[in-house]
Structure formats: C-alpha cells, structure tokens
C-alpha cells in the first residue's frame, strides 16, 4: 500500500483542553466532540491534544491514548491532529507515539522529560527513537521553563537530523525565534507557542501558532491569522491584537490551563474544571477576566 504524504502543518493549531466529567473522573467525550466542532466551525487549522493546556501530566497512559483516539475521530480529517506524546521515559514516549500513528494522528508534539534535564545527546537519541517508532513528523516543544533545557538555535535546527520537522517555541525568546524564522527556516519550521508573542511571530513569518487561548477566542484567532499571515494587513492585525493581547497577558499571569478553562466557563462552555490540586480561577481573577473578554467583544454567560 502506498502511504499518503503527511499533511504540512500551518496556521492556527489549538492547544486543546481536555474536558472532564463534572467529577473529573474521566474524559467527557461529548464535551470534547462539541468543542472540536466549534473549533472546526471557526476555521482553525488543527488541534494539539495532550499538551500542557490539555493537562497531560494529570492523565494515565490509557487516558492519553483515549484522548488521541477521540480527537482523531471527532476531527474526522477536517483539521490536523498533532498528538502530544511527551513523557518521562523513552518507553512511554515511543508507546504513545506508535499508538498515535496507528490511530491516525498527523504529527506528534514532544516535550522532553520535564523533571531532570536531558543532555543534548540524550535528547537527540530520544527524538530518533520516537521518529523510528511512529514514522510521523515531530514537533519539538521548546519550553525551557518546564524542562530545564535551553537549546541554542543551532541545536534546535540540528534536531531535524533526529526526525524533528517542526518547533513549538514556548521559550519567550523573541531574538532566538527571529533567528529560527529568518536563518534556519530551511532546517526546521517554527511555530510560535508563547501567547504574548503571537502577533510578532506571525508578522515575522512563523508558519503558525500553537495557541491555548484559541480555545476561548477561535474566531479572533482566525481573524488575526487571516489579517497578518494571509493578507499582510498589519493595520487590521494591530486592531485585532489590541483586543487579544490583554487576554494573552492575563493567561500568562495565572495558571495557564486554569485560565483557559475559566475563560471557556465564562462563555458558557462546561469543561468539568481541572483535576486537583488545580482548580478554576477564583472570584477576583474571574471578574477581571470577564471584563477582558467583554472588551474583546465576547458575551459572558456565567
């Protein structure tokens, strides 16, 4: 059988939440289906389940596999699915990666072990083994604050030799992102992953953004993409960004996954909350966030 070439990733990829049942005992499949349908209707280009926004560290291996199965089923080929498969051991990583490939995911997003930093050689070996196990393109999740690995742009670009094709840059290092976009684009395709740098990243030529805030503002996210990345209309982009930036700034100032789910709840979408010890935001930040969403033209329901 001739295998179809993998989809090229680009555009707004939503770092999608994991909706729980009200007691957080399991994934709420119906809520997930409805959320993915909303995102597809808004025009997003893909979803990234099983990442930080999706609370992957609070899930069992079986639940992580179930999540990818559900997302591939509900996306139904309409948008790309990039499966988050980072874990603490090579065995877990390759198990998740092979499962994602067998399930029909388009690519993998891999955060390296996030307790004790790897050496660069260990990282290269890990990526090579994941690539061999899955035969899927890898998006390297560059988040030094969580992994303790601060790679140079040379090191990031060289990961292409180990099966890494894409980068989610959540370093917050705009000069490094600039170098990757302008000088290393022929080696690795960079996506912005730091909310408050989204406008800059798109204007500088990032192929897209892996963006948790898009769970809350998918329409605004797509308007920004169309204005800046597609039409090159920076004037309209700046007007949109004036609404979006305060939301991104707020999320980065709080527990991110809690902020995203709180935003969805404010708009009337039930998420099941977060698995403890985490929780939705309290009254004061909730009121502040409601004001920011209202200022952005969104209708608060609760």
The residues, ordered by sequence, that sit 6+ positions from 34 with a Cβ below 8 Å of its Cβ are 269
| Bridge partners, residue 12, by sequence | 209
| Location of structure tokens 């994934």 | 27
Rounded to whole angstroms, how far apart are CA atoms 9 and 5? 12
Dihedral sign for Cα 53, 110, 205, 225, please. negative
Helix, strand, or coil (residue 81): strand
The residues, ordered by sequence, that sit 6+ positions from 219 with a Cβ below 8 Å of its Cβ are 42, 43
Overall average pLDDT of the 278-300 stretch:
98
Rounded to whole angstroms, how far apart are CA atoms 137 and 10? 13
The pLDDT score that the predictor gives to residue 107 is 98
Rounded to whole angstroms, how far apart are CA atoms 138 and 35? 25
Rounded to whole angstroms, how far apart are CA atoms 236 and 146? 34
The pLDDT score that the predictor gives to residue 7 is 77
The DSSP call for residue 83 is E
Convert the pLDDT of each residue in 202-253 to its tens digit: 999 999 999 999 999 999 999 999 999 999 999 999 999 999 999 999 999 9
Q: Give percent of the chain above pLDDT 90.
A: 97
Overall average pLDDT of the 274-285 stretch:
98
- Catalytic residue from among 141, 166, 207, 261: 141
Cβ neighbourhood burial of 159 (10 Å; 0-12, 13-18, 19+): buried
Rounded to whole angstroms, how far apart are CA atoms 227 and 250? 23
| Cα three-residue angle 122-125-131, rounded to 5 degrees | 140
Residues composing the chain: 302
| Cα three-residue angle 129-131-134, rounded to 5 degrees | 105
Q: 3-state SS of 164-206? A: EEEEEECCCCHHHHHHHHHHCCCCCEEEECCHHHHHHHHHCCC
Task: Let me know if 165 is a catalytic residue.
Answer: no
The residues, ordered by sequence, that sit 6+ positions from 282 with a Cβ below 8 Å of its Cβ are none
Task: Let me know if 168 is a catalytic residue.
Answer: yes
CA dihedral 130, 133, 135, 136 (to 10 degrees): -40
The residues, ordered by sequence, that sit 6+ positions from 183 with a Cβ below 8 Å of its Cβ are 153
The structure's pTM equals 0.96
- Catalytic residue from among 140, 165, 166, 168: 168
Peptide bond into 271 cis (omega under 30): no
Convert the pLDDT of each residue in 69-122 to its tens digit: 999 999 999 999 999 999 999 999 999 999 999 999 999 999 999 889 999 999
Reported as a pLDDT band with limits 50, 70 and 90, residue 2 is: very low
The pLDDT score that the predictor gives to residue 203 is 98
The pLDDT score that the predictor gives to residue 160 is 98
């Amino acid at each position: 059988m001739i295998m179809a070439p993998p989809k090229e990733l680009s555009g707004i990829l939503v770092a999608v939440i994991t909706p729980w049942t009200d007691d957080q005992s399991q994934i709420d499949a119906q809520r997930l289906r409805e959320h993915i349908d909303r995102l597809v209707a808004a025009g997003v280009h893909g979803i990234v389940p099983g990442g930080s926004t999706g609370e992957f560290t609070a899930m069992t291996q079986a639940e992580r596999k179930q999540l990818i199965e559900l997302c591939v089923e509900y996306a139904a080929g309409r948008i790309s699915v990039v499966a988050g498969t980072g874990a603490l051991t090579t065995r877990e990583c390759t198990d998740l990666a092979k499962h994602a490939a067998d399930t029909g995911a388009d690519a993998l997003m891999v955060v390296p072990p996030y307790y004790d930093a790897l050496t660069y050689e260990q990282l290269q070996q890990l990526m090579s083994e994941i690539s061999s196990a899955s035969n899927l393109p890898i998006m390297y999740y560059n988040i030094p604050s969580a992994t303790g690995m601060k790679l140079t742009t040379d090191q990031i670009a060289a990961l292409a030799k180990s099966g890494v094709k894409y980068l989610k840059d959540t370093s917050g290092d705009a000069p490094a992102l600039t170098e990757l976009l302008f000088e290393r684009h022929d080696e690795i395709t960079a996506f912005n992953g730091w909310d408050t740098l989204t406008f800059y990243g798109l204007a500088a030529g990032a192929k897209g953004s892996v963006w948790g805030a898009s769970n809350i503002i998918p329409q605004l996210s797509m308007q920004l993409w169309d204005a800046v990345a597609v039409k090159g209309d920076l004037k309209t982009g700046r007007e949109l960004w004036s609404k979006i930036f305060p939301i991104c700034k707020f999320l980065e100032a709080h527990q991110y996954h809690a902020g995203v789910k709180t935003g969805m709840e404010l708009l009337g979408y039930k998420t099941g909350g977060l698995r403890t010890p985490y929780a939705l935001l309290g009254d004061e930040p909730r009121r502040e966030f409601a004001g920011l969403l209202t200022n952005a033209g969104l209708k608060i329901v609760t």
